[in-house]
Amino acid sequence: MFRNLYYKFFPTPSFLAEPSFGLDISDESLKFVELVATKKGLRVGRYGERKIPSGVIESGKIKEPKRLEEILSSLRKEEGLKSVRVSLPEEQIYLFKLKLEKLGLKSIWEGIELSLEEHVPIMTQNAIFDYKIIKEYDEYFDLQVAVIPRNIIETYLSIFKNSGLSVSSFEPEVQAISRAVVKKGDLGTYMIVDFGDNRTSISVISQGVVVFTSTLDMGGVMLSRAIQKNFKISFEEAEKLKVNYGLQRNVPDKEIFQVLLNSLSVLCDEISRHFLYWHTHKDEEEKDRPSIKKIILCGGDSNLIGLPEYFSVVIKTQVDVANVWVNILDIKKDVPEIDFKQSLSFATALGLALGDFYHD
């Protein structure tokens, strides 16, 4: 989605090649991965992470453009980058399904424009949107529409132009994640939970399309802070306890389990609420929704020991940690360049880079 926006504003010289390079930008960091096509299939090229100082980006809104330009310019020089595929902040994107009647329809773009303000709290002239056809019928189209405020996208475009980087596409984080963690061609229905440092996104993908997404202001840092406060230790020490013990009962200090459980119960309740709502409410056409096959966990803090089992018991459904290599390589035959635990935090960047090899 949003594939042609950069070129609309800033045409790229034809001699610049576009590497399959995914760049995941969040409030705290940017992660990058390059996928390279070889005779043996796709392989990881350059990859890494750069921290973003607090206050530069807040809830996806860029507060200090010059600071971000400096970080991106430095990355471009250090890694020799030219072109990237970039994630857009989930907090600033509106996703919705639209049934667009063909009768009297001049174009899909015009049809969406006329319906836009019924679905999102943005005036049409202040919005940028893109769409995907889910299914075409004789009388109408089923569409997935993504909308972002014009000022948000123009700020991102300007920053990349000033930092000397070409953008081959902008894409919602969750669409990129789903491309990385759901097997290509699998049209089943899944809930994806991206458990990050300071926020968690909950989304549902069905028929290869993201049909629901929600972002919560809670993440792994919340767990570490709870341990820090309870045991009156440093944040670094709390992080170590969280990583080493997780949700294990048989540990020297059983209080760690209870502290983590108290914090995680809030997140689990939110996931359960969305899971239940999906199965107990009709869709836009008053039809039953397909059942969610399982919940897929990704994000750096989904590595927490015992987390999938805890969610599975409480929500009463299958919960698995994601395999972000499912569409890249066979981990039974090849060893990925990024280790498994670290790879979970690169799901968005890997999904972005995969977009150069196949489209959803």
Query: How far apart are the C-alpha atoms of 311 and 198, rounded to whole Å?
Result: 19
- Which run of H or of E encompasses 211? strand 209-216
Q: What confidence tens digit (pLDDT) does each residue in 137-158 have?
A: 999 999 999 999 999 999 999 9
| Structural tokens at position 53 | 């100082």
Q: Which residues of the chain have pLDDT under 70?
A: 1-19, 359-360
C-alpha to C-alpha distance for 81 and 151, rounded to whole angstroms: 26
pLDDT at residue 265 in the model: 94
User: Residue 244 and residue 314: Cα distance in Å, rounded?
Assistant: 23
Interstrand relation of 83-88 and 166-172 (parallel, antiparallel or unpaired): parallel
What are the structural domains, with CATH classification, of the chain? 183-325 (3.30.420.40)
The predicted structure's pLDDT at residue 135: 87
User: For all residues of the chain together, what is the average pLDDT?
Assistant: 89
Query: For 12, left (φ over 0), alpha (ψ -120 to 50), or beta?
Result: beta
Q: What is the pLDDT of residue 8?
A: 43
> Among the residues of the chain, which ranges form H helices?
5-9, 65-79, 108-119, 150-162, 173-181, 220-231, 235-245, 255-280, 307-315, 340-343, 347-354
SS3 157: helix
pLDDT of residue 104: 87
pLDDT of residue 134: 87
Structure tokens given for 85: 């595929």
| Structure tokens given for 77 | 């020089």
> Other CB atoms closer than 10 Å to residue 128's CB: what's the count?
19
- The token pair at 354 is 């995969």
pLDDT of residue 17: 35
pLDDT of residue 185: 92
**Whole-angstrom Cα distance, residue 43 to residue 36?**
5
